[in-house]
Amino acid sequence: MQGIFSQGTNDDVESGLSPLFCLYHVIWRRHMDIAARAKALAQPLAEELGLTLWDVRFLKEGALWYLRFWIDKPGGVDLDDCEAMSRAIDKPLDDADFIQQAYTLEVCSPGIERELTRDEHFAQYIGSRVTAKRTHPSEEIVGVLEGYENKRLALRLENGDSLEIEKKACAWVKLWDDFEEEEDE
């Protein structure tokens, strides 16, 4: 850790990593660890409540930190489910005391246009219409998720063509919300 705040060392130069990159990596890793620890605490509590944990993230928005839990269940979640999960996880988080900075605890539904982030999300929604926001070139692609293997999405586009995209080439992949199309019919 010593080289992170220095002007660089021979090891940094040889590895091609700048001290700033190393600092960013350490901070990013710490936040991932917080989310993983929070998920481990929350998983059994969610199961007791008949819920599944869709995702857990510890992130900064503006000047504020948020620990966000997305919960789900067959038929969808309501405000009572979110409140029950919030009450269930609050004390265990306080007792574990592994988050150093002040943060806001949020429990919410992944929603209709839920973001697919984990392998099991992709497996669950094969055959569903999705939108993928590709970063290079920057574009949104809509298609049916036909497969997901080795971190690669197989999509059937609206024109019938097939397309494979690496997950890491996408800023996000979400379920397609066709609510507006249904309203127009």
Does an H or E element contain 67, and which? Answer: strand 64-72
Rounded Cα distance between 12 and 19, Å, is: 7
Q: What is the pLDDT of residue 33?
A: 87
Contact 65, 59 (CB under 8 A): yes
Angle at 75 between CA 71 and CA 77, to 5 degrees: 35
Q: What CATH number labels 119-184?
A: 2.30.30.100
Answer CATH for 2-108 from 1.20.1630.10, 3.40.630.10, 3.30.300.70, 3.30.420.40: 3.30.300.70
Q: What is the pLDDT of residue 112?
A: 87
Q: What is the pLDDT of residue 10?
A: 43
Per-residue pLDDT for the chain (185 aa), expressed as one digit of tens each?
Answer: 333 333 444 444 444 555 544 444 445 456 568 999 999 999 999 999 999 999 999 999 999 999 999 999 999 999 999 999 999 999 999 999 999 899 999 999 998 889 999 999 999 999 999 999 999 889 999 999 999 999 999 999 999 999 999 999 999 999 987 655 544 44
Rounded Cα distance between 35 and 30, Å, is: 9
Q: What is the pLDDT of residue 120?
A: 92
Does an H or E element contain 170, and which? Answer: strand 170-175
Q: What is the pLDDT of residue 181?
A: 53
Contact 59, 68 (CB under 8 A): yes
Q: Where are the domains of the chain?
A: 2-108, 119-184
Q: What is the pLDDT of residue 177?
A: 78
Stated pTM of the model: 0.72
